[in-house]
């Protein structure tokens, strides 16, 4: 069984950084991805999906806090997680998040900074696999 997701999209608002007393931090953000299709009448229909991102590591949160803002273009790799909580009225609510393992900041036209990768992976084979994937992606992306 595999739980792995790859997304490319733009942040919908500035990330929220949560700092904890033990010098730890996490970052949360929303990522918009777009899709389009033609309806039965042949009209182009565009659809935006929103994804909740969680950057669970202090080192990730530091990079997110320093470099990312609303509109930043990102490639993220992570796992889909669903958790539940009780709201103020005692109703059970569910939230689905992408727990980010690796991400790459993509700099498109008119954006400064170009492209930078960030990974918490300590495995050199995983790092070389990510580099190969990024190389392949860069050849396929129009920006």
Query: Can you give the pLDDT at residue 29?
Result: 97
> pLDDT tens-digit profile of 74-110?
999 999 999 999 999 999 999 999 999 999 999 754 4
The DSSP H or E segment spanning 25 is strand 25-38
Which range, of 5-14, 64-73, 110-119, averages the lowest pLDDT? Answer: 110-119
Rounded Cα distance between 71 and 32, Å, is 9
Average pLDDT on 18-44 reads: 93
Q: Do residues 99 and 26 make contact, with C-beta atoms less than 8 angstroms apart?
A: no
Enter the tokens of residue 56.
């669970």
Band (pLDDT 50/70/90 cuts) for residue 23 is confident
Query: Can you give the pLDDT at residue 121?
Result: 45
Band (pLDDT 50/70/90 cuts) for residue 12 is very high
DSSP 42-107: S-EEEEEEEEEEEE-SHHHHHHHHHH--TT-EEEEEEEEEEEEEE-TTS-EEEEEEEEEEEEEEE-
For the cut 90, the answer to whether the pLDDT of residue 120 exceeds it is: no
Domains (range + CATH), the chain: 5-140 (2.40.50.140)
Enter the tokens of residue 28.
């949360």
> pLDDT tens-digit profile of 123-139?
333 343 444 444 444 44
């Amino acid at each position: 069984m595999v739980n792995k997701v790859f997304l490319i999209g733009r942040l919908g608002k500035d990330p929220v950084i949560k700092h904890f007393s033990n010098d730890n931090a996490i970052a949360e953000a929303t990522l918009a991805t777009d899709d389009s299709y033609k309806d039965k009448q042949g009209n182009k229909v565009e659809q935006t999906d929103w994804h909740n991102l969680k950057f669970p590591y202090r080192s990730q949160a530091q990079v997110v806090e320093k470099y990312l803002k609303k509109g930043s273009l990102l490639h993220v790799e992570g796992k889909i997680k669903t958790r539940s909580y009780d709201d103020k009225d005692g109703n059970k609510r569910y939230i689905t998040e992408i727990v980010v393992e690796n991400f790459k900041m993509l700099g498109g036209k008119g954006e400064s900074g170009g492209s930078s990768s960030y990974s918490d992976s300590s495995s050199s084979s995983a790092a070389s696999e990510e580099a190969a994937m990024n190389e392949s992606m860069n050849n396929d992306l129009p920006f």
